[in-house]
Structure formats: C-alpha cells, structure tokens
Amino acid sequence: MIIMPTQTALKNSVDVHTLLTDKLDQFTHAARRGGAIARIMPELIEHARYVLSHIADQAELTALQDTARSHPVSEYLYQCPFTAHSARQPRGYPGDAELIDYLYCHTARTPDIARSTAVGRRILLANLDRPASIAVRTRRHIIADLISHIAAQTPSARILSVACGHARELELIDHALLERIAAFVAFDQDAKSLEVAAGYCTKPGIPRIAPQCGTIMDLLKDIHLQDFELIYSAGLYDYLSDRLCQRLTHNLFERLKPGGTLLVANFLPETPDIGYMELFMHWSLRYRTQPQIRDFIATIDPNSIASVEYFTDVHQNIGFLQIVKNALP
C-alpha cells in the first residue's frame, strides 16, 4: 500500500478513473498516429503522479491499477523491458535485483534489452532518465564511496550488506581498497541474487563474500553476525513498516563495533515517478519524510550514538540516515 504522508486525497471531489483514462486515451491516440510515445513519457509520468495524489483509499488505488494495466496504452508501455519486468515480478516480489540492474544500466540486462522492440528501448531510455532512476544510481555511488572510505580508514574491515541484491556497488570500488576488506557478509532473502553477489569472490582484488540467505526475521534472531565496521541497507526500508524499521535499525546498530557506521535509506514522498511505479509497474514503496526517517533510531540509547547525519541525493528523492556508534571510552 502506498504511504504518502505529505499528500491529502481529495475525496469525492474528482472522478479519478476519468482523470486517468481521458489522458491515457490521448497518449494512445498519439502513439497510434505515429507519435513518439517515448517523447511524451515525461507528461504521462507526471499525469500518473497527479492522479495518484487524488486517490482516496487503497480500494480506489487497486481499481485504478487494474484500469491502467489493462488500458491500450499498456500495449506500448510494456514493450519497455524495465516496466514489463517490474509488472511481472518474476522473482515473486517487487524491486528485485534484476530490476535494479536496469536502473544501473548494467550489462547483465543487455540481452533482454536487445530482444525488446525499438519502441520499448526508447521508453526504457526515457525511464532511465527519470529522477527516481537517477537517484538509485546515485545511491549506489554513495554506498560505494562509504565502503571505500571505511576500507581506507580501517585495515581488515568487516562489512554487512542487508538485502544486498547483486551487490553491484562493489564494482565501483578500487581493487586496492577491496583487498583491505576482511569480510563482506551479503545477506538477502533471494538465493538467486546471492549467487550473483557471491560470484565476485572469484575476481582478483575482491574479498571473499560470505552469502547468507534468510528473511529479516531470521536476521533479527541471528546472534552470530557481530562486530562490523560498516552495515548498510540500500532499498529494504522502502518495504517495511515503521515499527519494523525501528526494530531493525536498533538490531543492526547493536551489531556494529564501537565507532562503526550504519547507513540506511528510504525513498521520499516528493519522488515524481511514484504514479507510474504504482499504476503501471506494480511497484509500491513506503515513502517517508525526513522526520519519519530520523525516527528509525527512536529506540536506540542516545548515549551510544556518536553522530547522526541525514542527507539526500541531489534531487531529493532518497533520504539517507547515517549513524555512527560511540567508540569505547
């Protein structure tokens, strides 16, 4: 279910079904007349966001999702391999690592893109140029920079990535710094993602990766994963309840060494691509404001925290919370 705290639904004041379909009819008509649908993608995405801001409840959202995905415009949109992959959810859940590879423009997705239609590839390029896509690529670089910093400052660093996906951030790090990492624990619920992540250990300069498959509940109960210089979770919090975010943040903080760093991230409700993601991609996130993200640390003893920093990507689509644990006296 979408959670957009800064939006107030305009109940009973707008026929959202008509608001959506009238515009989609225009897009479809333009495309069938030979118009370049990729060129009108920004307008379509912005309109989807506008429609979403008028939805009153979950039932109305579900009905609109059905309408959007069965509308003739989808004949064009689902030629985009990125949009189609998200809507299909081939791994059984939204936002899987293969989908994120599209956003990274990773070569692993090249064969799928090559099999797409020319229209699909143009729509893909339009989607990759959107703020949310750019923010995901920026997030990858932010994490890679943090790993590099920790590795440079700490010989034999221990690092834990929670919901690691394919751990593509490792590809951005200098091998000389990777060699300084003593242990990289890759935790994820998806065994297929872990197979890809674990493959990095066969490459020169990359530390042996310790894959661990399990759910967040499994992680919360685990007593062996301890003493990390860095723990991070890039995209997991977008799918968790507020209570679970607090519980997990506290749990991960306790696993840090004194002086260790925890980084978590969450998409913000101002993200302009929310409507397209919700209506066409079957990709629902829990969007949070800065105060809500800062509240992740609510149950941690303030005396055990050395510093807390909140920041965003340059376009303010993703909020980051970086917490440093107090060093021993």
Query: How does pLDDT run across 128-147, given as a tens digit for each residue?
Result: 999 999 999 999 999 999 99
pLDDT in tens, 24-60: 998 898 888 766 777 889 999 999 999 999 988 899 9
Strands 256-267 and 157-162: unpaired
What H or E segment, with its residue span, contains residue 191? helix 191-198
Which segment of 103-117, 207-221, 313-327 scores lowest on mean pLDDT? Answer: 207-221
The C-alpha atoms of residue 138 and residue 129 are separated, in whole angstroms, by 12
> For the residues of 56-124, what is the DSSP string, one character each?
-SHHHHHHHHHHHHHSTTHHHHTTSHHHHHHHH-TTSSSS-HHHHHHHTT-GGGHHHHHTS-HHHHHHH
Q: Which residues contact 276 (CB under 8 A, 6 or more apart)?
A: 44, 45, 48, 49
pLDDT for the residue numbered 34: 66
Could you give the CA distance from residue 292 to residue 304 in angstroms, rounded to a whole number? 21
Distances (CA, A) of 187 to 12, 181, 219, 256: 45, 17, 8, 16
pLDDT at residue 11, rounded to an integer: 46
Q: Which residues pair with 228 in a beta bridge?
A: 256
* Residue 14 confidence (pLDDT) above 80: no
Q: What is the pLDDT of residue 202?
A: 66
CA 319 remoteness from chain centre: 11
| Helix H or strand E segment including 312 | strand 305-312
Least confident of 14-23, 101-110, 131-140: 14-23
Summarize pLDDT for 169-223 with one digit per residue, the tens.
Answer: 999 999 899 989 999 999 999 999 999 999 887 666 666 799 999 999 999 999 8
How are beta strands 318-325 and 305-312 bridged, if at all? antiparallel
- List every span in the chain annotated with CATH 3.40.50.150: 133-325
**Residue pLDDT, tens place only, 260-307:** 999 999 999 999 999 999 999 999 999 999 999 999 999 999 999 999
| Mean pLDDT for all residues in the chain | 92
Compute the distance between CA of residue 76 and CA of residue 38 in angstroms, rounded to an integer.
Answer: 9
Q: Which residues, in sequence order, are bridge partners of residue 164?
A: none
Check residue 125 and give its pLDDT.
Answer: 95
CB within 8 A of 41, min separation 6: which ones?
Answer: 123, 126, 127
The predicted structure's pLDDT at residue 110: 97
pLDDT at 5: 40
**CATH class of the region 133-325:** alpha beta
% the chain with pLDDT above 70: 93
